[in-house]
Amino acid sequence: MYKKIFFLLAVCTLLSCNDEAKIEKEIAAIPVDFQVVRFDEKFAETTPKNLPQLKQEYPFMFPSQFPDSLWVEKLSDTIQQELDTEVQKAFPSFENKKLALHKLFQHIKYYFPDFEAPKVFTVTSEVDYKNKVILSEDYLFISLDTYLGKEHRFYIGIQEFLKKNFRKEQIIPDVANAYAEKYVPRHKSRTFLSRMIYYGKLLFLKDKFIPDVADAEKIGYTQKELDWATGNEAQIWRYFVENEVLFDTDTKLNSRFLYPGPFSKFRLDLDAESPAKLGQFIGWQLVRNYMEKEEVSLQELLQADAEKIFNNANYKPKK
């Protein structure tokens, strides 16, 4: 009996792997064309004399409400010059990231055929870590000075839970997240479950957009944090159920379990050991379970409400 079960599981796994390999082969054949503009380098090399030429080439990079004198002053600003130098040291070439972006854009195009690859601009932003990646209709802006490595001196004074992701490895997950936010409808319900499922959908899209990227990078965890979340998954879920938070509309649950922070806030002794965003992590597992059990398309998942996903996922984490 056990041999039969093992055989069936092995066959199912093999078929699943074959399907995934077939999909990846189709994705690799999708044509995607886009341009990367190293605007950070162009601005760093600009002088007051040729500033008008740069403005004429990229007028949208110079908002009209700011006078030329501001940009001239910025060119000679020692902090800006130091930013330019450090970014050039860290990113003398962007070719590897361009290849990774190409692969990401192919995956997005596969799942959303109307997708058009943007024109990509690398910039500096005076370490505006709240806007590391900005996505508009036609352009994608990546602030390279927010990816210099968590120990960089520019980040002294910034909280550890934030700067741990100021690394090159987070560029592609951050871009994938920006596109996931574009495709996942905002939740209408105010329940904690609805917010969990929203983040779960974002992370599931990242599963599809960047399948070769480690789960820890997708959610912005260290491997140790992911191991903690995985090892305590059943206990986290039991806490949510027993404390009846799933259908609670208290917005304080957001900062306790959904938003970045030093840790999650169960108000227990184990808090300091836990990573933040455990509500996102559980929402991710709920969505994964739902998609394993239901034969629905990705688009149908995105439109499914939280309660339907919750009811059909039959989520029972292993103890």
CA–CA dist 316, 233 (Å, integer): 10
The candidate with the shortest Cα–Cα distance to 24, out of 291, 215, 212, is 212
Q: What is the pLDDT of residue 38?
A: 98
* Per-residue pLDDT tens digits for 262-278: 999 999 988 999 999 99
The candidate with the shortest Cα–Cα distance to 143, out of 2, 231, 39, is 39
Same domain membership, residue 151 and residue 100: yes
Domain final residue pick, 183, 204, 235: 183
Q: What is the pLDDT of residue 187?
A: 82
Assign 174 to helix, strand or coil: helix
Same domain membership, residue 124 and residue 250: no
Same domain membership, residue 98 and residue 159: yes
Q: Provide, rounded to the nearest whole percent, the portion of the chain with pLDDT above 90.
A: 91
Q: What is the pLDDT of residue 214?
A: 98
Per-residue confidence at 162, pLDDT binned at 50, 70, 90?
Answer: very high
Q: How far apart are the first and last CA of the chain?
A: 25
Same domain membership, residue 296 and residue 170: no
What's the pTM? Answer: 0.92
Same domain membership, residue 176 and residue 218: no
How large is the C-alpha radius of gyration of the chain? 22
Domain final residue pick, 143, 160, 183: 183
Same domain membership, residue 296 and residue 223: yes
Q: Is residue 81 part of a domain?
A: yes
Q: Is residue 13 part of a domain?
A: no
Same domain membership, residue 197 and residue 179: no
Q: What is the pLDDT of residue 200?
A: 98
Structural domain tally of the chain? 2
Q: Is residue 10 part of a domain?
A: no
Same domain membership, residue 284 and residue 165: no
Same domain membership, residue 288 and residue 171: no
Structural domain boundaries enclosing 304: 192-313
Domain final residue pick, 160, 183, 206: 183
* Per-residue pLDDT tens digits for 197-233: 999 999 999 999 999 999 999 999 999 999 999 999 9
Q: What is the pLDDT of residue 283?
A: 98
Average pLDDT over residues 165-172: 98
